[in-house]
Amino acid sequence: MAGLFESTGGGSAAIVLDELEASILRSLEVQMLELIGPGPGGESDDPLAALFAEGPSEAPEDPALARLFPDAYGEPGAVADDETKASAAEFRRYTELDLRARKRDDALSVVRALDGLGGAGGEVKVAAADCPRWLCALNDLRLTLGTRLEVTEEDEEGLYQLPDSDQRKPLVMAYLWLGGMQESLIEAMTG
Phi, psi of 34 (to 5 degrees): -65, -40
C-alpha 103/C-alpha 96 separation (Å) is 10
pLDDT per residue over 178-187, tens digit each? 999 999 999 9
Instruction: Give the mean pLDDT of the chain.
Output: 89
Number of domains in the chain: 1
Query: Which range marks the domain in which residue 40 is found?
Result: 5-190
Task: Assign 3-state DSSP to the chain and report helix, strand, coil percentages, each to 5.
Answer: 60, 10, 35
Higher pLDDT, 23 or 158: 23
Q: How confident is the model at residue 57 (pLDDT cuts 50, 70, 90)?
A: confident
Q: How confident is the model at residue 44 (pLDDT cuts 50, 70, 90)?
A: low
Rounded to the nearest 10 degrees, what angle do helices 19-36 and 169-190 cross at?
100
What is the pTM for the complete model shown? 0.87
124 forms beta bridges with: 15
| Secondary structure element (H or E) that encloses residue 8, with its range | strand 5-9
